Amino acid sequence: MSWYRRSKLGFNTISRYFTSKFTVIKPPIRNPPSTFTYASNNPIRVPKISPFSPSIINNKTSNIQSIGNSYRNYYVDSRQVRHFKPRGFKRWIDNPRNVLIVVLVGSGVGVTMYFGNVETVPYTKRRHLVLLSRNVEKMIGESQFENMKAGFKGKILPAMHPESVRVRMISKDIIEALQRGLKKETVWMDLSYGAESDPTGGATERRGKEAVMAMTEETGGGDKWMGKDEVLNDVWVDESRKKGKGKDKAVKSATTHLEGLKWEVLVVNDRVVNAFCLPGGKIVVFTGLLEHFRTDEEIATIIGHEVAHAVARHAAEQITKNLWFTIGQLILYQFVMPDLVNTMSNLLLKLPFSRRMEIEADYIGLLLMASAGYDPRVAPKVFEKLGQVSGDSALRDYLSTHPSGKRRSKLLSEASVMQEAISIYREAIAGREVDGFFL
């Protein structure tokens, strides 16, 4: 029996030797491939498994499967489930940390841009955001002025033409009045302006009647400036002025953009009823406007209004607002029809802002012409006549960039600014110039 045991032991030894040489031990699979879940935390480089290539996995030493140079990231959770990283580019928004960083940085940049570029409009004390620098605004105005001179070549009246001389002299008076209005940091305020604090609204009615009485007393006329068919007021101007001239705030108006301007006047022989003032002090008047408005007071009203746009930096403000409107529209395009977004943004945002700037320019221009020695009581009639020439309609107060002539006339005649303008005008014709009435 001993020889049998020795023979069996030798046979088993030889069998185990050859089996270890030719047999591949397959590791156990903990989860089938169909149950793999995906995640993106703590990736480890491992190769992809190909059904056509042999592979060996040693669970005790590594989680790496080597098949050529093809690798894929994954990690093993506490339940020994392998989570593979999805292929392709990973979006930054998928990481909450990146989203938080973007929100914080964007908020900081937005706050810095706002408080670094917000300005106060002279007289009205309205605060507005202007992202366009003064130099860029000036360059844009000068470039447009040169392009306009090239476009109207042959239609520009010579400097010695009577109409050119007349417009240039009126403009000179307006610009000199502007310099006086910005000379010192004081706010011109008539004593009757203190009635603005009446919470019942009676102050608006009283100051309108007082303005009408002053106009009637000076002119001897009986024009009915009060109208009941429209609800008109200048409350937003009154409130912004009260905030701007408060003792604790002492808001300083932005006037540095008016320093060192090279003012130029251009009269174009064209039947267009229009006039404008480009940034940088470039005034353009068309002869079509001069055909309808012949007196110096009427022309001074128009030029004062256009110069007021440059004083309030309305062109730069409009560019800034259009930038925000465009960003908002691009966001809404993802949820609402583009045509609906464009229509609603025009009706509810762009057009109301434009009409508000026109009213603001009317107020500032009224003070300019009064300081220049031109009767401000003519201004309401000028804007009413301008509305008739351009074709006023009931929808213009809602569908146009400019308010109707009737509305502008009512606002100017009833506003407290008319009382201030009349007081400044009386001082001007008496030879006592009023400084600092804008600030």
Which residues are catalytic, by number? 306
Q: 64 with 110: CB under 8 angstroms?
A: no
* HEC-encoded secondary structure of 97-121: HHHHHHHHHHHHHHHHHHHHHEEEC
DSSP state of 376: G
Q: How far apart are CA 302 and CA 308, in angstroms?
A: 10
By the 8 A CB rule, do 395 and 388 touch?
A: no
Report the 10 Å Cβ neighbour count for 120. 20
H-helix or E-strand containing 225? none
